[in-house]
């Protein structure tokens, strides 16, 4: 027998904030939702939610849904969706980060930061100087999970897409909308600021090199494929610093960080 969920009319003091969970299912107010697998495990064993607990759900639409746990079984949990609220926390611009895979676990630490800054997608890149030249399916799933949990934490209603890694030479020849910007330390003719001052684009693809940077041949190939070369000033930034830096600058100049 399930628990009867309803919207609470009284104020509960000292209650912990409601969790936010991303799901792929269609969500409809005043309906039931059954979750199993990884989400079931996360709700019941990680968050340790119980029958009667409330939480927010989102699925990539512009809405957030309040739900209540009605029943917990051995392998599935049943929720009652109570209400729907329109939420506007996504940026008016699209930022696609193409990041040459850095050493160790640096990309794991990078993904939450750029997710919080509102990026649209992450394309891991394999270049000549990347230490990691092959990415396992488990590693890719881990990156997707990190992006998902970061979106849950920061209040976004969409989760950045994490694509399967590509060789740089393959990636550079793809067609892209908007501005294509390559950051490298030897660029002296044009700054990131110069490019942003002369564009009204709403979509940006930002290419960032690994430790040691891109080779001269890789830079030449990018320029041949109509990428803009850009510098970030006099100091050389670590590869894991660049993506949060340029994402924040871009959101401030063209996005929604200027509304603070």
pLDDT, tens only, 21-61: 999 999 999 999 999 999 999 999 999 999 999 999 999 99
CATH number of the domain residue 165 falls in = 3.40.1280.10
Specify the pLDDT at position 189: 72
| Arithmetic mean of pLDDT, 230-258 | 93
Specify the pLDDT at position 7: 57
DSSP bridge partners of 78: 34, 71
Average pLDDT score over the chain: 91
Residue 248 sits in the same domain as residue 123: yes
Given the structure tokens 């009204």, which residue do they identify?
200
How many domains does one find in the chain?
2
Give the helix/strand (H/E) hosting 57: strand 54-58
Confirm whether 9 is domain-assigned. Answer: no
Picking from 259, 245, 260, 253, the residue whose alpha carbon sits closest to that of residue 93 is 253
Residue 172 sits in the same domain as residue 151: yes
Residue 61 sits in the same domain as residue 171: no
Q: What residues make up the domain containing 230?
A: 94-259
Residue 106 sits in the same domain as residue 221: yes
Round to whole Å and give the CA distance between 107 and 196: 26
CATH number of the domain residue 71 falls in = 2.40.240.20
């Amino acid at each position: 027998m399930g628990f009867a969920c309803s919207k609470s009319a009284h104020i509960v003091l000292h209650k912990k904030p409601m969790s936010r969970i991303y799901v792929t299912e269609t969500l409809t107010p005043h309906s039931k939702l059954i979750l199993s697998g990884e989400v079931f495990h996360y709700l019941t064993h990680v968050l340790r939610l119980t029958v009667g607990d409330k939480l927010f759900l989102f699925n990539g639409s512009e809405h957030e849904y309040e739900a209540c746990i009605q029943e917990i079984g051995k392998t599935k949990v049943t929720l009652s969706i109570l209400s729907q609220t329109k939420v506007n926390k996504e940026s008016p611009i699209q930022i696609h980060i193409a990041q040459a895979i850095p050493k160790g676990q640096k990309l794991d630490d990078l993904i939450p930061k750029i997710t919080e800054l509102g990026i649209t997608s992450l394309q891991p890149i394999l270049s000549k100087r990347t230490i990691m030249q092959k990415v396992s399916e488990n590693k890719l799933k881990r990156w997707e999970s990190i992006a998902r949990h970061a979106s849950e934490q920061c209040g976004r209603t969409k989760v950045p897409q994490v694509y399967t890694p590509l060789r740089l030479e393959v990636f550079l020849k793809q067609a892209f909308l908007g501005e294509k910007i390559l950051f490298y330390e030897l660029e002296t003719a044009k700054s990131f600021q110069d490019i942003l001052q002369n564009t009204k684009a709403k979509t940006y693809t930002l290419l960032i090199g690994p430790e040691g940077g891109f080779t001269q041949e890789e830079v030449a190939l990018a320029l041949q494929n109509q990428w803009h070369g850009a510098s970030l000033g006099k100091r050389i930034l670590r590869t894991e610093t660049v993506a949060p830096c340029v994402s924040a600058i871009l959101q401030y100049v063209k996005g929604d960080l200027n509304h603070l």
